[in-house]
Copies of this chain bind each other. A is one copy, B any other.
Amino acid sequence: MPHDAKAAKAGTRPGGRSARVRTDVVTATLAELTEKGYDQLTVEAICHRAGVHKATVYRRWGGVDGLIADALALSADQPWPIPDTGNVDEDIQLLAREVYTTFTDPDLRTTPTALIGAALRSDLGAAALSAFFTARHQQAAEVVTRAVERGQLPADVDPVELVRAATAPLYHRLFITGEPLDERAAHRAAAAALLAARAGLFDAPAP
């Protein structure tokens, strides 16, 4: 067995055993959630799949809602691939398009759709979802900051507000009104957000 594989097996990869248990349990949670849905999600099945004792999971996560919250916390820590084409219109369109693709592609959509849907079913999940979106918005705001530096957008624009406006209509359809999501809706959300930003509607409040 090569050294790396042996080290990984012994639980000495970065973060150590505790981080490995977390990854295994969250992965099992997402798999169970995707296969069975929130209503059929049990700590027992998650533990069986992850090969972890129930006592460990209850102690560390409390129950299924704590597991869902932690799955979102782990996702929030992952870097989001932020477009950088040199053209802010294209970058913002790509951000909206990425949300569209993630939640409509039959191979990609199931897990994130189930995860957000599940987060909306508990206070613990809702708090984690809020933190998740804060992290995502802040990461993606770089697209706007760069555009301001290039002179493509007014200097006063609130970067998070532009990112939020370009993607909010998609999440609104998916998780609130249950209306269908198409490419046109994604394109329109991005274009409307850029228009509003250029008109000064998203200017940050004066300090």
Residues on A facing B (Cβ under 8 Å): 116, 120-121, 126-127, 129-130, 133-134, 161, 164-165, 168-169, 171-172, 175-179, 184, 188, 191-193, 195-196, 199, 201-202, 205
Query: Which 7 residue pairs across A and B have the least CB separation, nearest first?
Result: A130-B178, A192-B196, A168-B172, A133-B177, A120-B120, A121-B121, A172-B172
Residues of B within 8 A of A196 (CB): 188, 191-192, 195-196
| Interchain CA distance A104-B133 in the complex, whole Å | 21
> SS class of chain A's interface: helix, strand, loop or mixed?
helix
Instruction: State how many copies of this chain the complex holds.
Output: 2
Q: What are 19 A-B pairs with beta-carbon distances under 8 A? A: A120-B175, A129-B176, A129-B177, A129-B178, A130-B178, A134-B179, A161-B188, A168-B172, A169-B172, A172-B172, A175-B176, A184-B205, A188-B201, A188-B202, A192-B193, A192-B195, A192-B196, A195-B199, A195-B201
| Interchain CA distance A121-B204 in the complex, whole Å | 34
- Which listed residue, B116, B121, B171, B191, touches A201 by the CB 8 Å rule? B191
| Interchain CA distance A184-B168 in the complex, whole Å | 17
Is there an interface contact between A178 and B120, defined as CB atoms closer than 8 Å? Answer: no
